[in-house]
Structure 1
Amino acid sequence: MRSLPRFSAAALLLIVAASAPAAEPGAEWAYKPFKRPAVPDVPAQKTAARNDIDRFLLAKLAEHKLTFAPEADRRVLIRRAYFDLIGLPPAPEEVEAFARDNSPGAYEKLVDRLMASPQYGERQALFWLDVVRFAETDGFNADAPRPNAWRYRDYVIKSFNADKPFDRFVKEQLAGDELYPDDPDALVATGFLRHYPDEYNAVNLEQRRYEVLTDITDTTSGTFLALTSGCARCHDHKYDPITQKDYFRLQAFFAGMWPTEAVLLTPGARAEYQKKLAAWEAKTAEIRAAIEAIEGPYHQKASAKQRTRFPDEYASLLDIPFESRTPIQKQLGQLIDKQVNVRGDVSKSLKPAEKERVAALKAQLSQWANEKPPEPPRAMAMTDLPTPPPTNLYKRGNWQKPGAKLDPGFIATIDDRDAAPQPTNGSVGRRAALAGWVASRENPLTARVIVNRLWQQRFGYGIVRTSSDFGVTGDRPTHPELLNWLADELVAKNWSLKHVHKLMVLSAAFRQGARGEEAGATADPDNKLLWQYPRRRLDGEALRDAMLAVSGQLNLKAGGPGVFPELPAELQKSSAGRWTPTADVSERNRRSVYVFVKRNLRYPLFTLFDAPDRNETCARRFVTTTAPQSLAMLNDALVIGFGKQLAARVTKEAGADREKFVGRAFLIAVNRPPTSEEQAAMAGYLARHKGSDEEARADLCHALLNLNEFVYVD
């Protein structure tokens, strides 16, 4: 028997590239400037259109002799609007009031009210946190916590609520420290550049630095430009017009990176803090020196042991004064220092007499505690060295094989020039130049990409279904003129995301029912033309929030460090020390966007319902249907507990009468009254149940939480 030929990885890549289909005509559409197209005239279907979005959609539907499905029932519509805009179910009284209100402006008033709600930003932030791979731990084996990461999450929520212009939103995240140095929010925003998974205890520091730069470059281009530029790290992109030179010119914008835990104080407040701290230090200098005399040798011993992990070429950097180091030595030295100069607790190593002496000294120190200013708030931020290290074009992407040096520059197909950074506010200005280019009206990608992401949030898929890949191998837009119109509309309205979002939610396309005509299923089985509203399952976060809300337990407190809800008993046993439930039960019951994001231990309900692990950027979540989802909803003690709490709430509101109990339970859980058949069946179930009345009601409410009507949005 003849053996198959063996190929190297490089040879296989060439074979695959040679056998790949040629790019279809017009595949580079995304690199061309967008212009505002004329809105189609659809006279025969004017009554179906509520705004210009509908006219673009109806024109395409007309080509297939299709139109929109009839408008959804008002109970369905309010539930849809609530989950889309704030990610929570409406209260029964709100549903009933909207169902009775047939005034022309009722729906728009509902939308305005929801978009003005503080819960709006909490819901809209979720898709952005997926894209930027936000997490509160480092990942990798140690998965150490990031105590200040949550401030970025709160910044995103605050920005969406305030309808911060998207171009400003972009600039703050790429270069807030350079462009707006006196704005604490802008410093927090640069946390975007800090969300890379970090194997901080790595020994090969040059490789680790390169991996971090690669992650930042890839995530930046994917998030804002929907480009898979990472494919050009090792060679010119096989399909898209992105060269290896383009890739490393982009990477050069970040070459001077200097991660920091920024102090979030105004200049005046910072000066006052420093004054008080200096006074406290002067008064306690003698005591602290005495403590250091005892503990210092133990710290030095621990540091010396850590230092031996590194080869001399790295460890010796710590012996060079900071100001005498080259830029690359400063960056590598920072990575070493994080591992070597660790001021851990050495109390277990102290001799008994030393312990006694340190305890006495610390008791003296505590007498001055009231004079020590509280630690100022800090945030994960990114700044730059005054002189960045050089950037090379690495051969085949290998950091050990540097080629020609490159200056920061842009994607040649879009804008073939090197950047011209303008040093400002004490910074080198590289990232400010990048931010200005990305957030420019002339950039053909940025506005298109974000309105496409908004469309994906409303309808399940973007106009370009590969929402982080506008390249040749990505999907072509189903409605290219509409995409360009939306991009232009965004820029024309001062980059207002709320404006574009509202247009989408007010459209007839969004308001239509989830069951269209049968001809649509034949002509367009994937519903790419939107001849009916795409029925959608709740994601794990919205499902948990909905169960908390209907059971009367949801805590709407906003902001702050991540919280730790209770884990299933079997997982809690295996995760001791890695996930300690928050002591205050009401804190555990805060919205899911505030649940601590641990890369190596995701909250189980979110995992079951397809939440990403945040190690990599996630442009669109998968939606799976699996047996473990059903088993968890039926058997998990936490879900059963939600059913019990819902039953207690309904009993409190409806009283002992079983008929009223069933009616109220349906209104709360699925926002409609039961049918006569359902009413009879549920009342009969309560009467026949072999347990107590309380147990029967809890089981009935648990069953309601398992209805498709509860888990899906029509």
Structure 2
Amino acid sequence: MRLLPRSSAIVGLLIAAYWAPAAEPPGAEWAYSSFKRPAVPALPDPKSHATNEIDRFLLTALAEHKLAFAPEADRRTLIRRAYFDLIGLPPTPEQVEAFVADKSPDAYEKLVDKLLAAPQYGERQAIFWLDLVRFAETDGFKADDPRPLAWRYRDYVIKSFNTDKPFDRFVKEQLAGDELYPDDSDATVATGFLRHYPDEYNAVNLEQRRYEIITDITDTTSAAFLALTSGCARCHDHKYDPITQKDYFRLQAFFAGYWPTESPLISSKDRAEYEKKLAAWETKTADVRAAIAAIEDPYRKKESNRQRGRFPDEYVSLVDIPFESRTPLQRQLAAMVEKQVYVRGDVSKSLKPAEKEQMEVLKARLAELSKEKPTEPVRAMAMTDLATPPTTKLFKRGNWQKPGDELVPGFLSAIDDRDADTKPLGVSSGRRSALANWVASKDNPLTARVIVNRIWQQRFGAGLVRTSSDFGVTGDRPTHPELLNWLASELTVKDWSLKHIHRLIVLSSAYRQGTHGTHAGEKVDPENKLLWQFPRRRLDGETLRDAMLAVSGQLNPKAGGPSVFPELPPELQKSAGAQWKVSADVAERNRRSVYVFVKRNLRYPLFALFDAPDRNETCARRFVTTTAPQALTMLNDSIVIGFGKALADRVTKEVGADREKFIDRAFYLTTGRPATSEENAAMLAFLTRHKGTASEAATDLCHALLNLSEFLYID
């Protein structure tokens, strides 16, 4: 259909308006300006209760609207809230009673310190970070192949939170641990952050795939550490934020030399010794290995030739060029080809009978010699760089086929308009260390603000900036800008200690409030942005599963190691097949949810149902949905019913057949408080009129308790 001339003009104007540089709205500069430590305000009302500086900022804002904090929550509510928030598990009845009975003035402070020191603290806090960095243990896309070593990064994150690693060091290790701390195995594992991109490894258009990989790394880095939507500047200058297209590709240039590796976790000295011993063993076994290769290679070559046919000559020919003679870009592209055309699997099924007999003799000989082979070092999925990276060009409209001016690594012009001073570090380019030092600097106006805002979001359900990965113009303004700046300053002053910020928030009067404020608050601030009451929150899928495991007495506290595969609902297990091989050991299946295998194309159903992301891209905040399938799953799913049965078995074992004791214990385990007389009567009546066996009645009651809002929500 031909547009009328007038319509064409309108369309042209709309297109021009979209692509034209946008005028910067007022207030856009707040996030890019350096922050100074603001003065803590005086209490607006001497009668107001302020535990620490956080309360003074909040009470000042509340007073402007003639509001105040809600009364403090009771002790049973407080301990349950602190336990779930800090370690992601419910307190036992005994822990609740001990806290309620502790009349010392610092009872709550002691509780918080105990939880911050618990090993479960890191397991809980890791969930938020793993969402943010799109951690997964498979490639994604159609093949969705496993990444067997990815779990080491998850353990690194847990360990870092538990040891309260300074956040600036945490940032530097993930962006450039191999360059900055080459003999620190944790720092090597940390670079796994740069490996979590979804990878369509069997793609044929390799230059496009390479561009997609470094684009993902760039976008995730800027979102996770700086809360910037820099990806909007890939095709044109950012329409709202002061990020130019040149800025974007200067950032991308830091990652241009990316080189994925499965790095040995040993020191340089130990590595040299290992390689020396390995070389000696290879010399000794050269004849045997050559004989094996002579039999297998024709079959491998046949399959490799078939795979080579998938690629254009310009790509497949790269593997025939010696590594030393390849350009930096050719090295990266050739590595992508080699991953597909070099057949390294078992070819024994293709061998002829005589060849199989020969192979048995040769492999037996090699197995005998392998006793002398040095032990293979533990390895991690990591990232390093080529010493000389490929050039970076500004792609017109973001199209990799339309390269423009060549660019060198540089920082955001709105903050620090200069090229990075880079120099090679060892076998790496040194580019990422320049970026890491800039991002983790206390002078960077974004990094400290972003992470304290994320911690605030964890504690209250929403950040002081509610768009926690978008500090730009289209994101929300801070509800309490001075408090945000004070917390950012406090973080850097206290050696970037995240536990210090968690402790400040959890000890504040704001955090200790009850969930029932005043009607005036509902009128003036219906979204509770001023925090005139504590926001009630539902458990996420991981915490819900952990809580059901804990109260039913099945939770395995084992920490770290390869991920586990708990059972799936029968109908899904049937279709999943080999993609989800359930862990044979029941105890392994019952480990904490942070250790459940993260498969991009098959999220664990309970987590997905309760809003867990698929980890294909960074997720800064899980938005809570309320859907019918959630309730139906909690009521009908065989796994949830199994938790109810396990809880009933536990309680029966602990208190015997006495119905009243059974009710009291089961209710206390799930809610953290004794039942009222009315609740007791209702549960006793249910058990009495139940038509099934005593065991079935107990299971149904416990299953019902797992469906209580009081179990599913944190007050």
Indicate the residue corresponding to 1:435 in structure 2.
436
| Distance in 1 of aligned mates of 2:393 and 2:464 | 37
Aligned: 1:379 with 2:380? yes
Please show how residues 502-541 of structure 1 align to structure 2 within 5 Å.
502-541=503-542
For residues 158 and 685 of structure 1, what CA distance do their matches in structure 2 show?
46
Say whether the 8 Å CA contact 1:31–1:445 is kept in structure 2: yes
Distance 1:414 1:56 in 2: 27
Is the CA contact (8 Å cut-off) linking 1:45 and 1:58 kept in structure 2? Answer: no
User: Which region of structure 1 is more displaced relative to structure 2, 461-470 or 367-376?
Assistant: 367-376
Q: What code does the residue aligned with 1:74 have?
A: R
1:212 aligns with 213
Question: What amino acid is the match of 2:180?
Answer: L
User: Counterpart in 2 of 1:405?
Assistant: 406
What one-letter code is carried by the residue in structure 2 that aligns with 1:228?
A: T
Aligned counterparts, 1:276-287, within 5 A: 276-287=277-288
For 1:204 and 1:9, how far apart are their aligned partners in 2? 34
What is the aligned partner in structure 1 of residue 606 from structure 2? 605
1:465 alignment partner in structure 2: 466
Q: Which runs of 5+ in 1 are unaligned?
A: none
CA pair 284-8 structure 1, distance change in 2 beyond 3 A: farther
Q: Give the structure 2 partner of residue 74 of structure 1.
A: 75
The one-letter code sitting in structure 2 at the alignment partner of 1:249 is: R
Give the aligned partner of residue 659 of structure 1.
660
Alpha-carbon distance in 2 for matches of 1:281, 1:91: 57
Contact 2:44-2:60 within 8 A present in 1 as well: no
The separation in 1 between residues aligned to 2:91 and 2:133, in whole angstroms, is 30
Contact 1:226 1:469 in 2 (8 A): yes
Residues 1:37 and 1:633: Cα distance change in structure 2 (over 3 Å): same
For the structure 1 residues 8 and 490, does the alpha-carbon distance in structure 2 shift closer, same or farther, using more than 3 Å as the test?
Answer: farther
What SS does the aligned partner of 1:575 have? helix
- C-alpha change, 1:281 and 1:196, in structure 2 (3 Å) is same
The within-5 A match list for 1:300-699 is 300-699=301-700
Counterpart Cα distance in 2 of 1:662 and 1:265: 55
Residue pair 2:391, 2:407 contacting (<8 A) in 1 also? yes
In structure 2, the residue matched to 1:87 is: 88
Give CA deviations for 1:486-533 in whole Å, capped at 9, x if unaligned: 000000000111001100000001110011111111110000000000
Count of aligned pairs between the two proteins = 713
- Mapped to 1, the partners of 2:426 and 2:341 lie a distance apart of 32
What does residue 108 of structure 1 align with? 109
Secondary structure, counterpart of 2:578 in structure 1: coil
1:132 maps to 2:133: yes
Distance 1:299 1:461, change over 3 A: same
Query: Take 1:46 and 1:172, find their aligned partners in 2: how far apart are those partners?
Result: 46
- Equivalent residue number for residue 245 of structure 2: 244
Q: Which amino acid aligns with 2:631?
A: S
Question: How many angstroms apart in 1 are the aligned matches of 2:402 and 2:21?
Answer: 29
> Is 1:27–1:476's contact at 8 Å kept on the other side of the alignment?
no
> Any idea what SS the aligned residue of 1:48 has?
coil
Aligned partner of 1:209: which letter?
R
In structure 2, the CA distance between the partners of 1:10 and 1:74, relative to structure 1 (3 Å rule), is farther
> Structure 1 690/139 Cα, relative in aligned 2: closer, same or farther at 3 Å?
same
Secondary structure of residue in 2 paired with 1:383 = strand
For residue 465 of structure 2, give the secondary structure of its aligned residue in structure 1.
coil
What CA distance in whole angstroms lies between the structure 1 residues aligned with 2:11 and 2:609? 35
Residue 116 of structure 2 aligns with an amino acid whose one-letter code is M
Q: Within 2, Cα distance between the matches of 1:315 and 1:676?
A: 77
Q: What residue identity is the alignment partner of 2:426? A: N
Q: Secondary structure at the residue paired with 1:147?
A: coil
Deviation per residue, 1:585-631 (Å, 9 max, x gap): 10011100010000000000000000000001001001000000011
The one-letter amino acid of 2:321's match is I
Q: Which one-letter code corresponds to 1:688 in the other structure?
A: R
Shift of 1:415: 0.5
- Cα deviation per residue 1:385-413 (whole Å; 9 max; x = unaligned)? 11111110111111111111011101001
Q: How does 1:250-289 map to 2 (within 5 A)?
A: 250-289=251-290
Q: TM-score, normalised by structure 2?
A: 0.97
Q: Distance in 1 between matches of 2:601 and 2:364?
A: 39
What one-letter code is carried by the residue in structure 1 that aligns with 2:664? G
Residue 33 (structure 2) aligns with: 32
| Matches of 1:387 and 1:300, distance apart in 2 | 32
Structure-2 change in CA distance of 1:564 and 1:95 (3 Å): same
Write out aligned runs for 1:30-179 (5 A). 30-179=31-180
- Aligned equivalents of 1:544 and 1:381: distance in 2? 31
Could you say what secondary structure the match of 1:261 adopts? strand
State the match for 2:224 in structure 1. Answer: 223
Corresponding residue for 1:191?
A: 192
Instruction: Give the AA of the match of 2:286.
Output: A
1:299 is aligned to 300
Q: CA deviation at 1:24?
A: 4.2
CA distance in 2, matches of 1:198, 1:467: 26
Taking the aligned partners of 2:127 and 2:645, their CA distance within structure 1 comes to 29
Unaligned residue ranges in structure 2 (runs of 5+): none
**Comparing 635-644 with 38-47, which one deviates more in the overlay?**
38-47
Distance 1:707 1:9, change over 3 A: farther
Residues 185-242 of structure 1 show CA distances to partners (whole Å, capped at 9, x for unaligned) of: 1111111111100001111111111111111111111111111111111110000011
Structure 2 counterpart SS, 1:44: coil
- Given that 1:193 and 1:216 are in contact with CA atoms closer than 8 Å, whether structure 2 keeps it comes out as yes
Structure-2 change in CA distance of 1:158 and 1:9 (3 Å):
farther
Distance (whole Å) between structure 2 residues aligned to residue 11 and residue 659 of structure 1: 76
Conserved? CA contact 2:385–2:427, under 8 Å: no
Change (3 A) 1:258 1:508: same
Contact 1:393 1:405 in 2 (8 A): yes
> Deviation digits for residues 146-187 of structure 1, max 9, x if unmatched?
111111111111100110111111111111111111111111
| Counterpart code for 1:122 | E
The letter for the 2-side match of 1:322 is: F
Q: Structure 1 40/331 Cα, relative in aligned 2: closer, same or farther at 3 Å? A: same
Residue 367 of structure 1 deviates from its aligned partner by: 2.5
What fraction of aligned residue pairs are identical, expressed as a percent?
75
TM-superposed CA distance for 1:703, in Å, is 0.3
CA distance in structure 2 between the partners assigned to 1:149 and 1:9 by the alignment: 49
TM-score normalised by structure 1 residue count: 0.97
> Structure 1 residue 376: deviation in Å?
1.6
Q: What secondary structure sits across from 2:304 in the alignment?
A: helix
Shift of 1:372: 2.6
CA 1:7/1:536 → structure 2, altered by over 3 Å: closer, same or farther? farther
Residue 256 of structure 1: how far off its partner (Å): 1.0
Residue pair 1:130, 1:617 contacting (<8 A) in 2 also: yes
CA distance in 1, matches of 2:195, 2:380: 10
Distance, in Å, in 2 between the alignment partners of 1:7 and 1:29 is 38
SS at match of 1:25: coil
Counterpart-to-counterpart distance in 2, 1:13 and 1:643: 59
After superposition, the Cα gap between the structure-2 partners of 1:669 and 1:449, relative to the gap in structure 1 and judged at 3 Å, is same
Cα separation, partners in 2 of 1:12 and 1:559, compared to 1, 3 Å: farther
Describe the shift of the 1:487–1:10 C-alpha distance in structure 2 as closer, same or farther (beyond 3 A): farther
Closer, same or farther in 2 for the Cα pair 1:305/1:626, shift >3 Å? same
Distance between the aligned counterparts of 2:646 and 2:13, measured in 1? 62
Q: Does the C-alpha gap of structure 1 residues 618 and 488 become closer, same or farther in structure 2, counting only changes over 3 Å?
A: same
* Worse-matched range after superposition: 367-376 or 193-202: 367-376
CA deviation string 1:25-66 (max 9, x = no partner): 222210000011111111515541100000000000001111
**Does the 8 A contact of 1:276 with 1:371 survive in 2?**
no
Deviations 1:295-326 (A, max 9, x none): 11111111111111111111111111110111
State the SS of the aligned residue for 1:348. Answer: helix
1:534–1:164 distance in 2 versus 1, CA, 3 Å: same
The aligned amino acid for 1:324 is: S
